[in-house]
Amino acid sequence: MLEPRIRQAVELMARFTERTGLGGEGSTQRRYLWTDAFAVCNLLGLPGAGEQSLALAQELVDHVHHLLGRHRADDNRTGWISGLDASEGEAHPTFRGLRIGKPLAERTPLERIDERLEWDRDGQYFHYLTKWMHALDQVARATRQPRLNLWARELADAAHRAFTYSPRGSTRRRMHWKMSIDLSRPLVASMGQHDPLDGWVTCVQLEATAIALDSHGSGPDLSRAAADFASMIDLDALATGDPLGIGGLLFDAYRAEQLTSQGALRAQRGLLETLLTAALVSLQQHLTLPDLRAPASRRLGFRELGLAIGLAAVPLMKRDVAQRLPHGSVARTRLEQLARFAPLRAEIESFWLRPEHRQARSWLDHLDISDVMLATSLAPEGFLVFRPLGAAAEP
């Protein structure tokens, strides 16, 4: 018998897969890169997940690449967005990135930006790409298929080349937040607060898996990209009022801790302490706001659930750090302080598990992403914990 929270996660994922065309021959696909990245990890990590769930995860990867790796149906351009021919595109589906999957076409070069409308326009987001890199890497580790890690590294290489730049008259590198579908021009030029951190941790993760799979010599070397992203991280500006951003900080902190404990990342003095301190300050500030006391109609479930998923990483970090850091260290102290917010995760989950709250327009307007991230919060190991290397070998 599955415990109630796991059963609820399984039910949420079952409804999502049916609703979006996964697992049904000839079904119309509804794919969205962020949501599908979490869904892949959920399918891999749900307790009791077997060959059927693994097959669904691999099918989802294939559908995402064949839909979001190609131009939109309403675009004059056709084929792979990389410009590769049919056979090369199949072999390298992430070579020039992946579309977000937004409902509206991207803004043309002659159109002025409308900030409200831009949220619904297609293109490429860096932080969506890194989530997909993580999902591909998790499947690579679960199946021991190096090509999945190769696709993740090719995606990381493409994103690094397209999103990073050197401003005129400045020695400090910067990043764009949103690029066009073909990565030829920025759609939103500002830099995401945590994008360099996310890029750095992800590149280190992908390189570590490539080495573990003995495939590091094939495909791009991400060491330069990792160093470039690391140089852009502003350690004094990581605190955020956004609950999804706080969750992202904790996710990156836990990935960095896993990489350190596995010997893939040299312990950097003060790094974990800095990330945890920024998360703690952010969380304390967020709780002074009225957001979590508002009715469901005025709350965005998927953003709050991003925070809940990040909070789920805290006890996992406490377990790992206890074996590595001495008592009284700042990082261990910060984890103890963050652990006191465990009831907040339960509160967020409980709120959004209530059927009447999931009938609010704020939930239904984002049904797929909300359902999948609720499932992730209920059963977070598939997303948070690096998959152990599986036994299956790639032919």
pLDDT of residue 393: 36
Confirm if 201 and 248 have CB atoms less than 8 A apart: no
The whole-model pTM stands at 0.96
SS3 99: coil
374 pLDDT higher than 70: yes
178 pLDDT higher than 90: yes
Q: Average the pLDDT over 284-307 and give the result.
A: 95
Tokens standing for residue 143: 């199946």
Tell me which of 18-32, 121-135, 296-310, 373-387 is least confident.
18-32
The string of DSSP codes covering 274-317 is: HHHHHHHHHHHHHTTSSGGGS-GGG--HHHHHHHHHHHHHHHHH
Q: State the sign of the Cα–Cα–Cα–Cα dihedral 319, 323, 327, 333.
A: negative
- Tokens 């991280």, residue located: 233
Average pLDDT, the chain: 94
**CA–CA separation, 349 and 248 (whole Å):** 17
pLDDT of residue 394: 33
pLDDT of residue 96: 98
Q: Average the pLDDT over 194-202 and give the result.
A: 98
For residue 214, with 0-12 CB atoms within 10 Å meaning exposed, 13-18 middle and 19 or more buried, which class applies? exposed
Tokens standing for residue 237: 């500006």
Output DSSP code: residue 104.
B
Give all domains of the chain, ordered by start, each with its CATH number: 4-384 (1.50.10.20)
Where residue 270 falls among pLDDT bands split at 50, 70, 90? confident
Q: Per-residue pLDDT tens for 121-140?
A: 999 999 999 999 999 999 99
Any alpha helices (H) in the chain, and if so which ranges?
4-19, 33-45, 51-68, 86-91, 115-118, 126-143, 146-163, 195-212, 223-232, 243-261, 271-286, 301-321, 330-339, 342-353, 361-364, 367-378, 381-384
Question: Is residue 14 within a helix (H) or strand (E), and if so which, with residue range?
Answer: helix 4-19
pLDDT of residue 222: 97
For residue 62, with 0-12 CB atoms within 10 Å meaning exposed, 13-18 middle and 19 or more buried, which class applies? exposed
